[in-house]
Amino acid sequence: MQELRPHAARLGAAALLASAVATHAADPRLEEIIVTAPMHKGEAETVHPTSLIAGNELRRRIAATLGETLKQEPGVAFSSFGPGVGQPVIRGQGAPRVLVLQNSMPVGDAANTSADHANATEPVLADRIEVLRGPATLLYGSGAIGGVVNVIDNRVPATVPGAPGGALEYRHGSNAGNDVLAGRLDAGAGDVAMHLDGFGRDSGEVGIPGNALRDGGGSEGSIENSEAQATGATAGASWVFGRGFLGMAVSRLDNEYGVPPGAHDHAEHEGHDEDGDHALALEEDGREDEAGAEDVRIDLQQTRYDLRAELADPLRGVELLRSYLAYSDYRHDEIESGVTGTRYGNEAWDGRIEAVHRSSDALHGAIGLQLHSRKFTAEGEEAFVPDADGESWGVFLVEDLHVGDVVYEFGLRAGRDSHDPARGDARDFGTVSGSVSALWSLDDVQTLKFALSGAERAPAMEELYSDGVHVATRSYELGDESLDEERSLNADLGYHLHEGAVDFRIDAFYNRYDDYIFQRATGVFFNPELALLEPVCIADHEDECLEVLQWAAAATDFYGLESELRLELPRGFTLAIFGDHVRGEFDDGGAVPRVPPGRLGAELAWQRGGWDLAARLTEVLEQDRTGEGERSVPGYTLLAARAEYAFSGGGGDWTLFLRGENLLDEEIRNASSLLRDVAPEAGLNVEAGVRLAF
């Protein structure tokens, strides 16, 4: 209770897709280049565990959220908060330890602030998505210990196309009546390249087998208030000259989605600070269910401007100079029963410059500077975090040294992060992270990788300054302004065999945190009606009590395995066998909450002529190592299948496709989701569509 007393006085009110649609599948025999690695490395050349999804493979995986799009990757899961939210979870880590980028720059949203906030980036508009795990992530932020997800599109074109080209796609899903229409156009005139894209998505309530509530009750057959609508558009242009280009783009995203009942249920309560700090004009939008109960919608809007330039051979020894500048104007309203209860805003500037250099045939690397400035605002009775200004800078250096059959890599990043809140003391944090790694070519077909890194992460704003009712998690959250930098030691060991028809990869990892920042249950409750903290919940108000969660730090270990085997079989068949497993444990023996369970699976595919058929079976294991107060999560079996037929005609290349997800109509309780007991994942869904590339 001593930790809670300083806060009690402040309780107050209590309260396109088309983008890659046009992309043809690359020849699988050719090595794709990892854009997120500054030296233009291929997957086989980098020491760090990476995943690259592009072309037809990306088109097959496209989903409404980024996390769902990536969920087939070994080591990658997603944290849902109803169907409108799907944040990536990498090796058991989610936000803020997973950094989501848009074309190598921060997205500029408020996804890290709360589990019910969606990422403001659309996989439907991506040309490719790259996932970096392990030490390479320090190139983009010392805090990205879990990994980096880089969503890459052609909004700022780097080349002038020889002829205008583009794509159109339409798809319809049976589960929620989901309709998606997307398109893109790339053209050029003289030295000017131009890009346009846009999409629209509309879906109804998500269908589920059985009841929404885990123990029965709630809606049956569907998740109430799970409809979603989104639109987005981008326009970009570049001046392309002999040694580089200069271009800019502007994009707009509007995304409205519902939060399932049970997430925001809380007792109505009165009271505001006498000075009116939490007052917010309520805006009617006409939404309220027939019974008059809460119907929570999130209305997200973002306008973003990107400026990018590249110049080859600007100086002796410098092969490439790249610079980025992005401005994002983001806001979202949380609308309860037709009125705006809380409004979040984030105005962010981001800049980055990097130089790729070569000192000799054996030594080359990249050096860079990254800057960030943000103004975060939160208004309303449920604004549990204060307004705050934030700034950060980081410098990084990474070098490759080729010695015989071994490639050594050395990396270093140093930076500073500052938070200046409207409530609480300003804090500054200095971070230093470094890595050393090696890639041995054992022979022409085998490589062995090892990497060791130490990383530091500055505490996030919500970890420091939270103080109020957080309706999304049905809790009262308290930050800890005394938190220091989070430090981790990370080791990766990997083996890769690629010989003829066999491609086998396995990666093991271990992350040791001296002071892993997490939320612990205090055993104390807050009653919104009475505005009191109580050691136990008052019997007459059991439905209104919110548990007090305190941000704290503890020594923690994460470790796991990721593996995949691909075999090219006769007659056009390919067999893939895959699996992953991760554990997170505190030194006191308790389990880290919401860690994904282990998975095992196999996929059999067949290609011949214009046909592409596949079936995928995944066994998701029971998660019985859950956090304090959490129930074990049952396992389930996922069966998915696809059928595609590609042909040319009518001035373009056509693809007809049919995709089935959760064909066994299993009840799926996502162990990484806060809402797993009140909102399962979607049941059986069959999606059909057509793509035209011209």
| Closest alpha carbon to 469 in 624, 662, 637, 268 | 268
The whole-number pLDDT of residue 525 equals: 83
Using DSSP bridges, classify how beta strands 546-568 and 486-499 pair: parallel, antiparallel or unpaired: unpaired
How far, in whole angstroms, is CA 262 from its chain's centroid?
A: 24
The whole-number pLDDT of residue 49 equals: 63
Check the CA dihedral 198-375-550-590 and report its sign.
positive
**Residue 428 burial (10 A CB sphere; 0-12, 13-18, 19+):** exposed
**Is 37 within 8 Å of 180 (Cβ atoms)?**
no
* Separation CA 377–CA 331 (nearest Å): 9
The whole-number pLDDT of residue 538 equals: 55
- What stretch of H or E contains 200? strand 192-203
Reduced to 3 states (helix: H, G, I; strand: E, B; else coil), residue 274 is: coil
Q: Report the residue count for the chain.
A: 694
Positions of the chain with pLDDT lower than 50, given as ranges: 1-31, 265-293, 539
- Give the DSSP per-residue string, 558-618: EEEEEEEEEEEPGGGEEEEEEEEEEEEEETTSPBPTTPPPPEEEEEEEEEETTEEEEEEEE
**Residue 613 burial (10 A CB sphere; 0-12, 13-18, 19+):** middle
* Separation CA 76–CA 146 (nearest Å): 10
The tally of domains found in the chain comes to: 1
How far, in whole angstroms, is CA 589 from its chain's centroid?
A: 29
Residues 6+ apart with CB under 8 A from 125: 16, 17, 18, 19, 153, 182, 184, 197, 199, 232, 234
The whole-number pLDDT of residue 38 equals: 63
Question: What range defines the domain where residue 451 resides?
Answer: 5-693
Q: What is the CATH number of the domain that holds 136?
A: 2.40.170.20
Greatest distance between any 2 Cα atoms in the chain: 76
pTM: 0.88
- What stretch of H or E contains 5? helix 5-8
SS in 3 state form for 57-121? HHHHHCCCCHHHHHCCCCCEEEEECCCCCEEEEECCECCCCEEEEECCEECCCCCCCCCCCCCCC
The tokens for 176 are 């929620």
Q: What angle do CA 487, 490, 495 make, to 5 degrees?
A: 170
CA torsion angle for 462, 377, 300, 394 (degrees, to 10)?
-60
Q: Hey, which residues does 473 pair with through a beta bridge?
A: none
What is the residue type of 238?
S
The whole-number pLDDT of residue 275 equals: 38
Q: Hey, which residues does 604 pair with through a beta bridge?
A: 575, 615
- What stretch of H or E contains 6? helix 5-8
